[in-house]
Amino acid sequence: MKSLITLSTALLMSLNTTAAGLEHVEPPNWWVGMRDTSLQLMLHGAGIAEAQPTLAPYPGVTLKGSHRATSANYLFVDLDVAPGTQPGELALTVAGRTLHYPLLARARGSAERQGFGPQDAIYLVVPDRFAQGGSGKQAAMKEGVHRADPGGRHGGDLAGMRQHLDYIAGLGFTQVWPTPLVENNSAQYSYHGYAATDFYKVDPRFGTNDDFAAFVSEARSKGVGVIQDVVLNHIGSGHRWMADLPAPDWVNQWPAGYTETHHARMTLQDPYASASDRLRFTDGWFVPGMPDLNQRRPELATYLTQMTLWWIERYGLSGIRTDTYSYSDRDFLTRWSARVMQEYPRLNIVGEEWSPHPAVVAYWQRGKKNHDGYVSYTPSMMDFPLQTNLLAALTEDDGAHTGLTKLYEGLAHDFVYPDPANLVLFDGNHDTPRIHSLLKKDVGLTRIALAYLATTRRIPQLFYGSELLMQSPTERDDGRVRADMPGGWPGDGVNAFTGAGLTAEQREMQDWTRRLFNWRKGAAVIHDGALMQYAPLEGCYVFFRYGAGRTVMVVLNKNARPVELALARFGERTRVGDRARDVLGGREFQLGATLAVPAHSPLILEISR
């Protein structure tokens, strides 16, 4: 890692000395041994587009050419780095100045790295709201810390997250997903990270790129992988591109002026959709402060792809989460996902497609045979349909088409997915109200939701603080949904990490969550077993995970009273005399004709003969 940091520093020094006037080179370095040998450098500096670059001889590296777009201040340089090329430093002369460009060796096993999957559990954090450890710097940024403002920056940083990795790992989580950490230098609402002003730089208020490297490295040493949140669809209005676009079509612009997306995502699958509706969905902007990128522009498509690969390779990531997935150009998404998976065949990418319809989400998953021939290489998607059904199951009265039936039928729709086990199911996220509040602060229902999350045939993701029964308004209120993690700041009266000041109910929930996910970590049948479910009856929903002589029985009891569950119905998976162990309560017993299920609770049993 030290050698990477040294080479990156050397590059910056060379830019400031031997290539004065060249302001930016992106990507800032590259690697030998990539499967796709092409590399396009984006050079930015006053008048640089007129330059004719030359490359000093370097075995295995060829200068294929260069070209400008529209602006006089950008030059795109195309290189080829052949297989077998050795690490070193390229000498690229541009307008009489020499750029010393690092070509690094890939880390051992980088291409074969194992991405996150059903064996994992993901903990989602909003870095600004998780913990402050002292790595952030406020100087020269447009927005400072205003912790009392729900929509302001609160000062969480990389050092804070790093200091509490033991807490995350101790809860049983094997992956952490921070919302974006790249620079968002905006005057307001910069804390969330989804309006990048520099794709290659960690926001100084979180720390430095070296702080991020240290965070990833320490997380890995504790058995926790890091998933990077990447935004391909848009940037922040403060991005330097907006003051000098490389080309007028670098962002999507409309003759009538600012045009907002109508969020009609189903236009992309609708066989009757108008072309104008499809265009407005993909090319409309989210808000005036988030210019919509045009990935049909070849240089921009290459830039975004190389940027993604750079973060994975440079920091040893275990996966990518892609924001607002379907809003980007879909042909670009095919090429982008194919290139990422070409370089890292075992990596995982999860896309955000916020739709309640399984057919719409399935459209974007790798392996789906689509009606229009569209092909994706993205292995995973966020399972918004099943999350919607989970909430309905626990808030609606049960009926033929309501309540628990929705959860049962939601899972039955797995036939539309090419790989349902690789979908990410979540209790909530930074854009949704807190689950405990949506479930009317009912601890029993919250435990049922988390038990389902941990045991069904999915990759589970928990939003930070759910283990503490954190609350929010039930209508969307981003600032309060993303409230500070108790104990993350010096002087906090309540501390999630030490337990100080937590209520008895919070401590019990935290301990229960810890037992649940630490059990899951070692329960191989939950990671790779088959699933058999039984239609809900009388407020109870039962399913089994099984395979290779292993069986887990899960009972979700919505009733306000204990239930004596007749077991004859489940004879395909268990029988009288089987041994059972309550994985959360620890009790061991022999199954009889009926099973006692506590009121308003989940029951998870390991079954053996």
User: Which residues are tagged catalytic?
Assistant: 323, 352
Is 545 within 8 Å of 530 (Cβ atoms)?
A: yes
Q: Find all residues with CB under 8 Å of 36, minimum gap 6, and list them.
A: 339, 342, 343
Query: Rounded to an integer, what distance in angstroms lies between the CA atom of residue 128 and that of residue 482?
Result: 9
Phi, psi of 582 (to 5 degrees): -75, 110
DSSP 4-60: HHHHHHHHHHHHHHTTTTEEEEESS-EETT-SS-EEEEEEEETTGGG---EE---TT
Query: Rounded to an integer, what distance in angstroms lies between the CA atom of residue 6 and that of residue 326?
Result: 38
Residue 151 CB burial class (10 angstroms; 0-12, 13-18, ≥19): middle
CA 18 to chain centre: 39
User: Three-state DSSP class for 201?
Assistant: strand
**H or E, element range at 407:** helix 404-412
Phi, psi of 260 (to 5 degrees): -90, 145
Distances (CA, A) of 505 to 53, 250, 470: 66, 52, 11
**H or E, element range at 590:** strand 588-590
* H helix intervals, 145-274: 158-163, 165-170, 209-221
Q: Find all residues with CB under 8 Å of 144, minimum gap 6, and list them.
A: 138, 153
Place of tokens 């080829």: 80
Q: How many helices (H) and strands (E) does the chain have?
A: 16, 26
Place of tokens 């810390």: 145
Q: Which amino acid is at 483?
A: A
Q: Which amino acid is at 501?
A: G
Place of tokens 């959709």: 273
Is 131 within 8 Å of 161 (Cβ atoms)?
A: yes
Query: Rounded to an integer, what distance in angstroms lies between the CA atom of residue 279 and that of residue 506?
Result: 47
Is 457 within 8 Å of 523 (Cβ atoms)?
A: no
